[in-house]
Amino acid sequence: MDGVSEVHVLAVSLSTSVGGTDHSLRNVALALQPLGVNVTLGAPGGSDTEQWWRAAGLSFLPLDLPQRIGIHRQGEKSLHPLGGL
């Protein structure tokens, strides 16, 4: 990289279990390492996601994140009450 020795990126996830997006992010993080780009994942600590991410030799930052509130509850197919509006 021109004049830059290292780039640090923090990716943040609410995920506590590994899914497709996590796989894609890890693949990108591993591919960027030889180019001097270090991706750290910030996500709930003590989770399956943390163990899986660290097993790949990648940096992890345990975060105490608020519970996700959106149209769909995390891990559920039913709508959150806000989704019915």
CATH (domain of 77): 3.40.50
Residue 2 lies in a domain: no
Residue 60 lies in a domain: yes
Residue 1 lies in a domain: no
**0.75 surpassed by pTM:** no
Residue 27 lies in a domain: yes
Separation of alpha carbons 13 and 15, rounded Å = 5
Residue 26 lies in a domain: yes
Per-residue H/E/C for 10-68: EEECCCCCCCHHHHHHHHHHHHHHHHCEEEEEEEECCCHHHHHHHHCCCEEEEECCCCC
Q: Is the pLDDT of residue 77 over 90?
A: no
Q: What is the pLDDT of residues 15-64, one digit of tens each?
A: 889 999 999 999 999 999 999 999 999 999 999 999 999 999 999 999 99
Structural domain including 23 reads 7-84
Number of domains in the chain: 1
